[in-house]
Homo-oligomer: A and B are copies of this chain.
Amino acid sequence: MERIPILKMGAALLVTIQVDMHDRLAMALEEDLTAKIAGNASKGVLIDISALEIVDSFIGRMLDNIAAVSRMLDAETVVVGMRPAVAITLVELGLALTGVKTALNVERGMALIQRRIDADVVDRGELDDRSAE
């Protein structure tokens, strides 16, 4: 397998990380994701890492990168399914993933993205009201 599949689920994209990441795979994932975000006008990216028993600084940086790039394209990144042991290790490593939101599982992550979309709609609605005055 050369590419990690990206699944479109409504306004969000879902990626499950199952294989060991290396440089080229991470770069390919970033490229594919940006293309899909732009192509589908996606508002959120869910990255499921429940299969990962170890998250090292390389994967931590990759997640941060994906979140930063997605943000530029107006999509929010939510990392879901992190194992408790992984969370402990990340903090011990000093990788607090400050640029990334997290949720316990895919459903909660999806709810987080949906809330953001709803908030955007309200914001746009208010703007329209004001411009109409």
A residues adjacent to B (C-beta < 8 A): 1, 3-5, 7-10, 14, 16, 18-20, 48, 50-53, 81, 105-107, 110
B18 pairs with A1, CB closer than 8 A: yes
A interface SS class: loop
What's the Cα separation between A18 and B20 when bound, in Å?
A: 11
A8 pairs with B51, CB closer than 8 A: no
Count copies of this chain in the complex: 2
Closest residue of chain B to A106 (Cβ to Cβ) is B7
* Contacts A16-B18, A19-B19; A107 near B1 (Cβ below 8 A): no
What's the Cα separation between A97 and B10 when bound, in Å?
A: 28
B4 pairs with A51, CB closer than 8 A: yes
Residues of B with C-beta under 8 A to A9 = 9, 106-107, 110
